[in-house]
Structures are given as structure tokens and as C-alpha cells.
Amino acid sequence: MTPNILVVGSGFSGAVLAHQLACNMDCQIDIWEEKSHIAGNCFTERDRKTDIMVHRYGPHIFNTDKKEIWDFVNGFIQLQPFAHKVKAIYNGQVYSLPVTLHTINQFFKKTYSPAEAKAFIESLANKSISEPQNFEEQALKFIGHDLYKAFFYSYTKKQWGCEPSELPASILKRLPVRFNYDDSYYNNSLVGIPKEGYTEFVQKLLDRQNIHLTLNRKFLPEDDYSSYSHIFFTGPLDAFFNYKFGRLGYRTVTFEPFYFEGDFQGTAVINYCDESVKYTRITEHKHFTPWEKHEKTICFKEYSKETSGSDIPFYPKRLAADKKLLSLYRREAEKLQNVSFLGRLATYRYMDMHHVIDEALHFADKFKDAFIKNLKRPVFPNVEPT
């Protein structure tokens, strides 16, 4: 019997999974998307006033150290190599992020060599912290008090809505310190942006005869889904269970657009690290497509806030109380038959795009094998609920 599969959500997780199943199984797949468009928070479109390709839910720069993932994406669209540079404004000065040799010398008004700068930062580091228990301790152990206060303390409070000491240390592990003048934001060697945006990528993934897309269709857990052999849910895990144990903590982002003649800030992203500035950063989207030329520009001020019932969840907070709720929801999910959960919202993890794609590819293979061999179908990817 040909399986009839429902995929909830057309972001990267749902789209990659649906494409792989449609290509490798004799099945029919319905995709329900709650939004009026595909591609989830990676949705891109041309701005009507400027013709600039805009990342409607904030900038997404594709980066990976896995060539097979880079090649997979390039099999559908053209990824243009992109050098992502981030600047930060603190106390009236402009600095480069992540913290580099230039940042250190500029901030402390020194002319250190790499070895001298490394020794200097080690002298500032809090050596009493052996195993950092939170974001703040991780920062103090890495870079000491002054750099932490300048570039991370207030910015982090604005972004996450709590003291950095309440956040897990793992968040800061993604922010490197370099003792050279390399100001590339990412450590990964493969960095790019789709020439015609991310929406094109998802469109081509879903361009299969056995994939049927419905926009503006909300999944309601209480409805009857017995006509489907299997459901893949990529939305918020707590929403699937109607928040029966309470809401998991998320931060959301609101965007305040404005237009400008010419070039507003000279780069794609500037972080605002002073607590007195209420927005976290300004993004200027024409700098994400340096291969295009635009006389006008569109920018967005980004504000972070707690997610309410009507907001789009962006970043899982994963505080101690959230992790307890997560364990309850995962136990409920494991009891279900013929339902799987995939993606950053359904697994309640911070995930970059290349992680999402990689996991969806492997999950599709795992499901296909289980279906063919009549084994128990996977409920979650092979990850621990940490």
C-alpha cells in the first residue's frame, strides 16, 4: 500500500525531508504550511521599492564544513561565496567581531603581536573558573571582564531577555577569539548565500509530482489524521501537545524597516552593544548580495523580546525550567504511534541551516529503512534532550 504522509511545515527540515522521501519512496506527501509562504524563517523575496533580495526573518548566511551538504544545496541553486564581516558599536567606537587581534589592540590601545595578545588575554581571564556553568562564566574564563562587558554582557541581555549568568555556557562556544587579523565571522570554510535567495531552494525541493503543498493551513492536534500513514511535525514541540505542561521559552525578533538613499552603514551587520540602544543590530540587506548593484537601500533594526502566543518563535532559551518541560514533552512524544518530530522547533535546539539539512537527510533515510523493514519508526533524530 502506498503510504500517505503528512509533513507539517515547509522550512528546511520539512522541505528536505519531503524531497528525500518523495524521491526514494513510492509515497504521496502532503505539506501543510501555516504561513502564507514556503521556506519558514529562511524566506527571501525582492523588496518592491528597491528590488533588493530581503531576508524577511533576519539574515541567513549558509556556512558549513561539510562539502557534501554544500554540494547538496548547490545541486538545486547557486550558492555565491560570501565573506561575512560583522562590526560592533560600543561606547561610540566601531570594532570588528568576533574578537580578533585587531579588536584587542584597538580596544586596549595596544600594538600586540599574536603571542603578546594571547598572553595578555590569558592574564585577564578568570582562572578560578575551571568548568564554566553558564554564559557569563564561559566569557570570563575566555576573555576576562572588560571584553565581556563591552561586547557580550548588554548585547546578550537584550537578545535573550535575562542575565547572561542564566544562559547555558554552550551559547558562547560558537563565538571564537582569534589572535590574528582574520575578521571572517565563521570558522567554516564554505560560506555562501543563494544568488536568488533561499525561497528558490525550497521551491525546487518541493517540485515533485508526489508532493502536494497547502499554504495557510494550520495543524490542529485534536483533528483526525487517520488517513495518513505517518506525520512529520516540524513546528514547536509544546504546540503539538497544546502546551499541556506549559510553554517552552523562546525569544522572538521584531523588525523595524527603513529606507535610505545610497549606502547606510557600509556593511551587512552592525551589532549595538550598549544597553542604552534598545535594538540589538541593524542589517543592511543589499550587502548580502555584493554581486548586485542598488542605488537605494533597505535596513532593519532588530528587537528581541519574549515570545507570546501570536509571535513566531526564533531562539530556544533552554533555561533549567525549559529543560524540565522538554523532558516531559519528549516522553509524551515517545508514546505516540506514527508521528515523528524534526527540526529546531520540534527538537527545541539551536541549529544552523547546514545542521538542519544534514539531519533531515539522515532522518529521511532512517525512516525509509524502518518503513521497508517494518521496524519501529523513529520519533526523534538521534539526539539527547540536553
Task: Give 62's strand partners.
Answer: 192
Looking at 162-295, which runs of residues are DSSP E strands?
190-194, 211-215, 230-233, 250-261, 269-272, 281-284
Q: Which three cell numbers stand for residue 296?
A: 537605494
Q: Which three cell numbers stand for residue 283?
A: 542589517
Provide the 8-state DSSP code for 308: -
Q: Which domains does the chain have, with CATH numbers?
A: 4-80+196-246+314-373 (3.40.50.720), 86-171 (no CATH)
Positions marked catalytic: 174, 178, 251, 281, 302, 350, 352
Residue by residue, pLDDT tens for the chain (386 residues) are: 689 999 999 999 999 999 999 999 999 999 999 999 999 999 999 999 999 999 999 999 999 999 999 999 999 999 999 999 999 999 999 999 999 999 999 999 999 999 999 999 999 999 999 899 999 999 999 899 999 999 999 999 999 999 999 998 888 765 568 999 999 999 999 999 999 999 999 999 999 999 999 999 999 999 999 999 999 999 999 999 999 999 999 999 999 999 999 999 999 999 999 999 999 999 999 999 999 999 999 999 999 999 988 899 998 999 989 999 999 999 999 999 999 999 999 999 989 999 999 999 999 999 999 998 888 899 999 754 43
Containing H/E element for 28?
strand 28-33
Q: Which three cell numbers stand for residue 143?
A: 576573555
Answering whether pTM is above 0.75, one says yes
